[in-house]
Structure 1
Amino acid sequence: MSDNREQFRPPEHDNEHFLLTTVVGSYPKPTWLNRARDLYEDEDAEFDGNDWEEAKDDAARLITEEHERAGLDVVVDGEMRRNEMVEFFADRIEGYEFNGPVKVWGHNYFDKPSVAAEVEYDESWLVDEYVYTADVAERPVKVPITGPYTLASWSFNEAYENEAELAYDLADLVNEEIEKLVDAGARYIQIDEPALATTPDDHAIVGECLERIVAGIPDDVRIGLHVCYGDYSRIYPEILEFPVDEFDLELANGDYEQLDVFKDPAFDADLALGVVDAHVAEVESVEQIKENIQKGLEVVPPEQLTVSPDCGVKLLPREVAYGKMENMVTAAREVEAELDAGEIDVPEHGAVSADD
């Protein structure tokens, strides 16, 4: 791991301390984009592929600018071009095929793909998306990629001896994609592995996948790993061996009940701490978010802390998602100023305390 975080500090940043602010990835799609998709899928509508591409471009630009207006240091396009985190990639990987939707919970369906042949890299998955977003953005752009373990775990395996071998082959493809993204200018890549939280005993497989993913990637490229809510005590401290710069963890949703897991042994990587709950359709106050940020300072010093939502916010009302981001940035900047002024004590070990 290398110190590649400072490159994302905005030139106009006023405070000496710097808490990097970003988002996990997904964001609510504008209503008109969903209507445009319906038109594109309607054979009787006069709405062709060019119209659909223009609609996605417009949405990506709109949400990127919305992230910048909220003040985020590193932005994404809200994954406006992606339908679902596994389907999107499986549709672009040779060897996958689709057999129809599978019911996963309630009235929700997931078009769970099958791996019918050895997976192969065909065409770039995200480079065009990244280049477009970077062109319209004034801030650095992060690229979220669904990780190989989740791509394997959330698919039917009909071609490999076991899931691990499939995951390793997929990791090699992810490495190839990241190399192309780096060539295009990307310097912040986030690997999403929600399946790790549900099957934590496989952390060794995820570790091997990550070794393959980062092979040959320059040190100035920041690699993060997002792991959704689960029993983190079953993967900590083993995850500290993973070759990533930053761990993005969902702790606000559990009211930080697992925070102590990461205090012993010491957390020596960067921590991207969820400080707003992606599952609650209410905007947390700046004061509440500041308290949450200070919980992160119990685990790592400010120079290792990234501030973000718990998870993707695509299921929230758009105005709520924006309000959470805006308040999150305000809270981070206020905590920075209080750190500069010596009003927040960050001891080497133990709880953070604010001066009275």
Structure 2
Amino acid sequence: MSDNKDQFRPEDHEHDHFLLTSVVGSYPKPKWLNRAKELYEDDEADFDEDNWQEAKDDAARVITNEHERAGLDTVVDGEMRRTEMVEFFAHRIDGYEFNGPVKVWGHNYFDKPSVVSEVEYDESWLVDEYKFTASATNRPVKVPITGPYTLASWAFNEAYEDDAELAYALADLVNEEIEKLVDAGARYIQIDEPALATTPDDHAIVGEALERIVADIPEDVRIGLHVCYGDYSRIYPEILEFPVDEFDLELANGDYEQLDVFKDPEFTADLALGVTDVHVAEVESVEQIEENIKKGLEIVPPEQLVVSPDCGLKLLPREVAYGKMENMVQAARNVEADLDAGNIDIERETPTPADD
């Protein structure tokens, strides 16, 4: 791991301290984009592939700009071109096929795929998306990509001996994709592994998959790992051995009940702390988010702290998602100013070194 966070510091950043602000990935889609998709899928509508591409491009520009207006240091297009996080990639990987929608929670469904033959890399999954977003902004672009463990766990495995073998095969494909993204200019890649904390006995599989993913990736490329929900005590401190620069963790939703898990042994990576709850359709006040950010300083010093929402924002009303991001950025800047002024007393218990 290297200290590669400062490359994302804006040139005109006004504080000595820098708390990198970002989003996890997904964002509410404009309602007209959903309508455009309906038209595209309607054989009787006069709405062809070019129209559909233009609609997605427009939505990506709008949301990238929305992230800029909120003040985020690194932006994403809100995953405007993507469907569900496994389904999108499975459609692009040879070896997957689809069986129909499966209910996952509430009234939400996703098309759960099966792996029916050896997975193979065909054409790039995200390079065009990245290039378009980078062309629409002057800010650094973060690229979220669903990790191989989740791609394996959330599919029916009909081709490999076990999910570990499938995950390793998928990790090699993710490595290929990241190499192409890096060649295209990407410097901030986030691996999404929501399945990890729900099946913690498999953290060794995720670790091996990550080793394959980052093989030959330059040190100036920031690699994050996003994990949401689950019992973190069952994967910590083992995850500190993963070859990533930052861990992006959902903690606001549980009112930081699991914060103490990460205090001992010492948290040696960067912490991207979830400071707004994406499950609540209300905008937290700037003051509340400031208090949440300070909770991160109980685990890591300011130079290791990154600020983000708990998870993807796509299920929120769009104005709520924007309000959360705007207040989050303002809160981060306020905490930076307080740190500069020495107004925040950072007292952390002396933890056991992580390698003990």
Q: Place the TM-score, normalised by the shorter chain, in its bin.
A: over 0.9
Match of 1:280 in 2: 280
Residue type matched to 1:219 in 2?
A: E
Task: Check conservation: 1:298, 1:350, Cα contact below 8 A.
Answer: no
- Is 1:224 the counterpart of 2:224 in the alignment? yes
Match for 2:153: what amino acid?
Answer: S
Q: Which residue of 2 aligns with 1:41?
A: 41
Letter in 1 for 2:294: Q
* Residue matched to 2:252: 252
Gaps of 5+ in 2: 352-356
Residue equivalent to 1:354:
none
How do 1:300-319 residues align onto structure 2 when only pairs under 5 Å count?
Answer: 300-319=300-319
Residue 340 of structure 1 corresponds to 340
Question: Is 1:168–2:132 an aligned residue pair?
Answer: no
Within a 5 Å distance, the mapping from 1:108-123 to structure 2 comes to 108-123=108-123
**8 Å Cα contact 2:299/2:348 also seen in 1:** no
Q: Which amino acid aligns with 1:23?
A: V
Whole-Å separation in 2 of the counterparts to 1:175 and 1:154: 20
Counterpart of 1:99, as a letter, is N
Give the equivalent residue in structure 1 for 2:354: none
How far apart in 1 are the matches of 2:290 and 2:235?
Answer: 27
Q: Contact (CA 8 Å) 1:247, 1:270: kept in 2 or not?
A: yes
Task: Decide which moves more: 183-192 or 338-347.
Answer: 338-347
Give the Cα separation in 2 of the matches to 1:250 and 1:75.
19
Q: Which amino acid aligns with 1:48?
A: D
**Partner of 1:345: helix, strand, or coil?**
coil
Gaps of 5+ in 1: 352-356
| Whole-angstrom CA distance in 1 between matches of 2:44 and 2:164 | 44
Pairs aligned (count): 351
How far off its partner does 1:109 sit? 1.6
> 2:211·2:242 contact (CA, 8 Å) conserved in 1?
yes
Q: How far has the Cα of 1:350 moved from its partner?
A: 6.8
Aligned identity (percent) is 83
Check conservation: 2:272, 2:307, Cα contact below 8 A. Answer: yes
Give the secondary-structure state (helix, strand or coil) at the position aligned to 1:79.
coil
Q: Which secondary structure state, in structure 2, belongs to the residue aligned with residue 100 of structure 1? A: strand
- 1:44 aligned counterpart, secondary structure: coil
TM-score by length of 1: 0.98
Match of 1:198 in 2: 198
The letter for the 2-side match of 1:186 is A
Structure 1 counterpart SS, 2:308: strand
Alpha-carbon distance between aligned partners in 2 of 1:342 and 1:269, rounded to the nearest angstrom: 24
Calculate the aligned-residue CA RMSD, in Å.
1.0
After TM superposition, the runs of 4+ consecutive aligned structure 1 residues lying more than 3 A away are: none
User: Whole-Å Cα distance in 1 between the matches of residues 332 and 4 of structure 2?
Assistant: 20
Query: How far apart are the structure 1 equivalents of 2:106 and 2:277?
Result: 22
TM-score, normalising length from structure 2? 0.98
SS of 1:307's partner is strand
What are the within-5 Å matches in structure 2 for residues 14-25 of structure 1?
Answer: 14-25=14-25
Distance in 1 between residues matched to 2:193 and 2:348, nearest whole Å:
31
Distance in 1 of aligned mates of 2:12 and 2:297: 24
Which residue number corresponds to residue 213 of structure 1?
A: 213
Deviation, structure 1 residue 346 = 1.4
